[in-house]
């Protein structure tokens, strides 16, 4: 059954025009039961996305009504493989086009189109990976692709890392 999704408000705030240091969006989702009948359940939802570092805030609120018997409602409220309720993914897919259009018109980075991708990215970033320093190949932690030490990609990655270290050292010197 298709739930009835109503969007009551959409808010997009941009604090500054620069988003050079943008990393990701942190997402908060709230889902509260408003009304429960024998043939349906009405829930209030709220998605709040805050860029990290804080520059952009987006939020969407509204109501979703799930029609059906208790087992149909339970299926929609049950978690998927990423432990996100199915109905939250369905509502996010409905709200995402508004986020996308708003982001493009305000020239800010757009969030991922799937909540499960955001969750997996956060888990990858939070889970440290230990790679032996004296190994013959370097592995990319996201895709596990072996890169030989003497490849142009490896050299470019090393030059980026050394540039980052120089910037950090300059920032430490200038803050003293």
Per CATH, domain 4-126 is 3.30.70.1060: no
Going 74 to 75 to 77 to 79, the CA torsion angle's sign is: positive
Distances (CA, A) of 94 to 15, 35, 46, 137: 26, 21, 13, 43
User: Which residues of the chain fall below pLDDT 50?
Assistant: 119-148, 151-152, 154, 156, 164, 168, 170-176
The predicted structure's pLDDT at residue 22: 74
Radius of gyration of the chain (CA): 22
Going by C-alpha positions, the residue among 19, 53, 24 that lies closest to residue 125 is: 24
The predicted structure's pLDDT at residue 109: 85
Q: pLDDT (tens digit, 9 = 90+) per residue, 31-65?
A: 999 999 989 999 999 999 988 888 889 999 999 99
The predicted structure's pLDDT at residue 87: 94
Task: Note whether 30 and 93 are within 8 A (CB).
Answer: no
Distances (CA, A) of 102 to 12, 28, 97, 110: 7, 19, 8, 9
The predicted structure's pLDDT at residue 20: 67
Q: For the beta carbon of residue 73, count every other beta carbon within 10 angstroms.
A: 20
The predicted structure's pLDDT at residue 14: 87
The predicted structure's pLDDT at residue 1: 67
Distances (CA, A) of 131 to 83, 135, 137: 29, 8, 10
Distances (CA, A) of 19 to 55, 106, 142, 165: 7, 12, 23, 21
């Amino acid at each position: 059954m298709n739930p009835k999704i109503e969007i009551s408000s959409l808010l997009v705030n941009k604090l500054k025009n620069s988003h050079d240091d943008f990393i990701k969006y942190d997402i908060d989702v709230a889902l509260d039961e408003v009304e429960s009948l024998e043939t349906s359940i009405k829930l209030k939802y709220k998605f709040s996305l805050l860029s990290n570092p804080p520059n952009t805030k987006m939020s969407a609120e509204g109501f979703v009504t799930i029609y059906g018997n208790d087992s149909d409602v339970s299926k929609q409220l049950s978690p998927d493989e990423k432990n996100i309720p199915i109905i939250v993914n369905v509502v996010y897919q409905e709200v995402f086009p508004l986020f996308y259009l708003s982001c493009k018109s305000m020239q800010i980075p757009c969030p991922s189109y799937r909540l499960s991708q955001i969750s997996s990215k956060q888990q990858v970033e939070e889970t440290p990976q230990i790679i032996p320093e004296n190994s013959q190949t370097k592995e990319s932690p996201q895709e596990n692709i072996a890169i030989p030490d003497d490849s142009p990609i490896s050299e470019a990655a090393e030059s980026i890392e050394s540039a980052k270290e120089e910037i950090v050292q300059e920032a430490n010197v200038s803050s003293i």
